[in-house]
Each structure stands twice: as structure tokens, then as C-alpha cells.
Chains A and B, each alone.
Chain A
Amino acid sequence: MEIVLGNVALACGLIIGLGAIGACIGISLMGGKYIEASARQPELMNELQTKMFMLAGLIDAAFLIGVGIAMMFAFANPFVVK
């Protein structure tokens, strides 16, 4: 049982860590492109901002779903029989 608990703890760390890496790379790529695009064409800024926030939410979602699942594993562990 201790081995299961330890593995689940490691898994939670991996879920959150790898998800964070992916989400951060995604957001930074998009944020950079947004700044670049609005420097080239400042008149499109408002239009692009809406789209950027929406995409940020879409990128964030996969990571936050991962965080939610990891938290569930950490506190209501389904792999250990109580």
C-alpha cells in the first residue's frame, strides 16, 4: 500500500508538472505572437485580445483539468482500498 501511495504522489507531481510545462509553452508562444501582431497592426489590438483570451482559456483548460484530477488522486485516492 505504501508503494501505491508513493507512486500516486509521484503521478500527481508528473500530471501537474508536465501539464504546466505544456500550458506555459503554449501561452508564451501565443502571448509573444499577440504582442508581435499588435505591434505590427495596433488597430487590430482589441479584436485580437478577445481571441487571445479565449485561446488562453482553451490552453489553460487542459492543464487545469489535470490539476483537478491530480488533486482528486491526492485527497480522494481511488487506488487505495479504505
Chain B
Amino acid sequence: MATTGHEAAAHVPSAGDYIVHHLGHLNTTGHPQASVVDFSVINLDTLFFSVAMGVIGLLLMWVVARRVTSGVPGRAQAAVEILLEMVAGQARSIIHSEESRKFVAPLALTVFVWVFLMNSMDFLPVDLLPMLWQGATGNEHAYLRVVPTADLNGTLGMSIGVLLLCFWYNIKIKGMGGWVHELFTAPFGNHPALYLPNFLMQMIEFLAKTVSHGMRLFGNMYAGELLFMLIALMGMGFSSMSGVGGSLMWAGHVVAGTFWALFHILIVVLQAFIFMMLTLVYIGQAHEGH
């Protein structure tokens, strides 16, 4: 796959080559991952942009928190307060333990801001950062993907983090014995013949929760990113076509790009909100005995 990308860039790239090249990660091997599962490959771009977005989110909150005043709040403080109250309200309605909320409510806020910022990388023009990166490295075939949540490794990493927190709260609230008891006696009931079905059911539940949690965010962002690439391709058609067809392609690219970006604002915020809500719901479930 690497060779097709390189050869294509030498000539005029076809639509497929353009997309394939843009779906390649900047990873430790230097060429796109060949097999579906390969734990020796590390996607450096996902790591870099997710950490960068986390730092930006923290800095933003820190700057606002430092200037916080009990007098008339500025616009930034008011916006952060609205956000904080929204998250705190959701946490209060889902998690009833005051003590857990001290950790879980800030966690939910962090998840929301972080996922929102990572999703927002989609709003940058699809070719802007990759082109800058290609210019900076001097390699015009360099790979770079800028949306960390459009990488399954990023989203599943976060959802597995939530799963581990669920385990932690299960053990903390119910005790090790209580949790193991629940694993084998819920949801069907306490009977030796039902121990195995109960346990299997619980495992399936944990697996389904975690996979769907990560896949949902990934699927939305991946589809969104691909559509931005397809729209960018329309603009590329402009240069290869002449006359009316070319200018129609150019106009179509601007109109479609605008509309999809506007619609994408909704998806970006909604998916960040859903990721936060599901984090709260899953951790809330760990607090409830069956």
C-alpha cells in the first residue's frame, strides 16, 4: 500500500490514492499498518495530538480558574461555569454517592473537554496540517492524521480506561467478595446451576459496553473525517477539469464543505457529550447492587 501512495504522488493522484494516503498514520514503522491487529506499531500522530489537546484543555481551564472572581464574571468565566454546572448536574443525577462524585465529576468534565477538543481537530482543513508536516520534514509523502478520536486505538484506549475505573469502583463499593458474588448471582439469580450463565452474561455485558463505547466515538469521527476528504476531492476535481464543470466542482466543494462542517459541529459536541454521559452511566452502574 505504501508504494501505491508514493507512485501516485509522483503523478496526479487518483481519488483512491488520495484517500488511502490520508488514512495512513505517522507511526513507528514509517509506512501504513499492514495487518488489522499489530501491537508493535505505535501511532505517533494520535499520541501527539491527543496529549497536545489534553494540555490545551488543561491550560484553558487553568487560565480561567486563576482569574476567577466572585464579582461580575467575564465571558470566559461564565462559559466555564455553565459547562461546570452542566457536568456537575449530570453527575449528581447519575451518581448518588457524594464521595465518588469528588473524583467522578471532574473526570467527566475532563473527558468532555478532552474529547471535544480532539474531535474539533476535524474542523481544520484536511490538508493543512499534513501539508505543513510534509513541508517541515521535507518528505512530500509523509503521513499524518490529525484527529486522534478517528483512530480506533485512541477511542478504545479511553473506553478501556473507563472499564478499569468500573472495576475499581465495583471493588471499592461492594468489596471484592461482594463483587465476585454479584458476578456469579446477577442477573438471573442465586442458584448453583445459574452461576455459569450469570458469569458469562456479566462478561458479555462488560465487553459490549466497552467496545460500543469506543466504537461509537470512532465511527462518528472516522465517517466525518472521510466525508471531509471526499469533499476536498471535489476541490481537487476543479484543477483537473476545465470550463463549467471545473467551476461547478469548485462551487460544490465550498458549499458541501460549509454544510458538512456546520453539521459536524453538532456531531462533535454530541459525541463528546455522549462519551461523557456513558462514562458517568457505566461508573454509576458500578455503584448499584443488583
Bound: A67/B227 CA distance, A? 10
Q: Which residues of A contact B (CB under 8 A)?
A: 53-54, 56-58, 60-61, 64-69, 71-72, 75-76, 82
Asked whether A68 lies within 8 Å of B222 as measured between CB atoms, the reply is yes
- Residues of chain B within 8 A (CB-CB) of A82 are 1, 4
Bound: A66/B216 CA distance, A? 11
Is B44 close to A, CB under 8 A? no
Interface hits, B265-290 → A, CB 8 Å? 267, 270-271, 273-274, 277
Asked whether B223 lies within 8 Å of A68 as measured between CB atoms, the reply is yes
Asked whether B273 lies within 8 Å of A71 as measured between CB atoms, the reply is no
B12-20, B107-115, B121-129, B160-168: which lies at the interface:
B12-20
In the complex where A61-B216, A64-B220, A68-B219 touch, is A75 in contact with B273 (Cβ < 8 A)? no
In the complex where A54-B277, A82-B4 touch, is A76 in contact with B223 (Cβ < 8 A)? no
- Residues of chain A within 8 A (CB-CB) of B271 are 57, 61
Is B88 close to A, CB under 8 A? no
Bound: A61/B270 CA distance, A? 11
Asked whether B15 lies within 8 Å of A61 as measured between CB atoms, the reply is no
Look across to chain B and name the residue whose beta carbon is closest to the beta carbon of A56.
Answer: B270
Report the count of interface residues on B (CB-CB < 8 A). Answer: 24
- Residues of chain A within 8 A (CB-CB) of B215 are 65
Interface hits, B216-253 → A, CB 8 Å? 216, 218-220, 222-224, 226-227, 230
Q: Which of A56, A58, A60, A75 touches B19 (beta carbons < 8 Å)?
A: A75
Q: How far is the CB of A9 from chain B (nearest CB, A)?
A: 13
Q: How far is the CB of B146 from chain A (nearest CB, A)?
A: 17
Q: Which of B16, B216, B267 touches A65 (beta carbons < 8 Å)?
A: B216
Asked whether B226 lies within 8 Å of A68 as measured between CB atoms, the reply is yes
Q: Which residues of B contact A (CB under 8 A)?
A: 1, 4, 15-16, 19-20, 23, 215-216, 218-220, 222-224, 226-227, 230, 267, 270-271, 273-274, 277
Most buried by B among A57, A60, A66: A57
Can you show 28 pairs from A to B with CB atoms below 8 A apart? A53-B270, A54-B270, A54-B277, A57-B271, A57-B274, A58-B216, A60-B220, A60-B267, A61-B216, A61-B219, A61-B220, A64-B219, A65-B218, A66-B219, A67-B227, A68-B218, A68-B219, A68-B220, A68-B222, A68-B223, A71-B227, A71-B230, A75-B19, A75-B23, A75-B226, A76-B19, A76-B20, A82-B1
Asked whether B220 lies within 8 Å of A65 as measured between CB atoms, the reply is yes
Not counting A53-B273, A71-B227, a sample of 13 additional A-B residue pairs whose C-beta atoms are within 8 angstroms of each other reads: A53-B270, A54-B270, A57-B270, A57-B274, A60-B220, A64-B224, A64-B267, A65-B219, A66-B219, A68-B218, A71-B226, A75-B15, A75-B20
Most buried by A among B215, B218, B222: B222
- Residues of chain A within 8 A (CB-CB) of B226 are 68, 71-72, 75
In the complex where A61-B216, A75-B16 touch, is A54 in contact with B1 (Cβ < 8 A)? no
- Residues of chain B within 8 A (CB-CB) of A71 are 223, 226-227, 230
Bound: A68/B218 CA distance, A? 9
Bound: A15/B271 CA distance, A? 22
Bound: A75/B218 CA distance, A? 18
Q: How far is the CB of B259 from chain A (nearest CB, A)?
A: 16
Asked whether B223 lies within 8 Å of A64 as measured between CB atoms, the reply is yes
- Residues of chain B within 8 A (CB-CB) of A68 are 218-220, 222-223, 226
Q: How far is the CB of B52 from chain A (nearest CB, A)?
A: 24
- Residues of chain B within 8 A (CB-CB) of A60 are 220, 267, 270
